[in-house]
Amino acid sequence: MRALRILLIVTVILGGLFVIADRVAVGFAEDEAADRLKTNEGLATTPDVSIKGFPFLTQVAGGELDEVEVGIKDYEADTSGATGGTGGGAPAKIRIDNLDARMKGVAFSGDYSSAKAASATGTATISYDELLKAAKAEPVDVATGVTAKVVGLSDGGNGKIKVEVEATVLGTKLPRPVSVLSSVSVKGDTVEVRADSLPNLGVQLAEDRVRLITDFRQKIDGLPGGIRIDKVEAADKGVDIGVKGSNVSLVG
């Protein structure tokens, strides 16, 4: 009985030491991955990296991690400029808020210099102020005597975006911006905003002329690790986006 008691005590101690070692190792790995991701993506702040699953050390021995979560508070994605809308002058970067990605099946190289996930899904938000940059420019000549531009984007409820247009007709500025509810969608790597109905700018204009103002598109590429936009939905503070990808590079 005494020998059995000693064996149990030793087993508990060794198990505790293994857990401590495992947690120390995973903490070090998370910090290292976060620093490398910050450098590789040119981030202003260090992202949050969380390695899931236990024990970590046995996952390392197998050369693959079950799941890794990455959180980036502010990410500046590359753009290819806006098309449609008032267009022109769109920024080369667009800020994406709270980009959270869940990566599954993360395999890494023997020297740990690179890691790639079999699949990844995630969420993020593009604020209305950021998306407005894709439409906002100098007023456009919609037709003889009529100029207009988008001056505001906000939540229109029921998954719609409220688009506010400021117009000047024959030299007279309309007393207040006119608004229209628009739908948002994604095609490939491009976010598209299209008016469900057209605003009354004070004169009768052909639909295609008015849509030069109300409708616009913003291409977004250069997301981290090669993930891509999968879906979009209008929300309170901006457009919520879903992202996904395969063979996504975590580091290296």
pLDDT digits (tens, 9 = 90+) for 180-236: 999 999 998 899 999 999 888 877 888 888 888 899 998 888 888 889 999 999 999
Mean pLDDT of 149-155: 92
pLDDT digits (tens, 9 = 90+) for 26-79: 888 889 889 988 888 888 889 999 999 888 888 888 888 999 999 999 898 887
Residue 236 pLDDT: 93
What value does the mean pLDDT of the chain take? 84
Residue 202 pLDDT: 77
Please tell me the pTM assigned to this model: 0.83
Residue 13 predicted with pLDDT over 70: no
Residue 23 pLDDT: 78
d(CA 40, CA 43): 8
- With a CB cutoff of 8 Å and minimum separation 6, the contacts of 132 are 150, 152, 153
What is the phi-psi region of residue 43: left when phi exceeds 0, alpha when psi lies from -120 to 50, beta otherwise? beta
Query: Does residue 47 contact residue 68 with C-beta atoms inside 8 Å?
Result: no
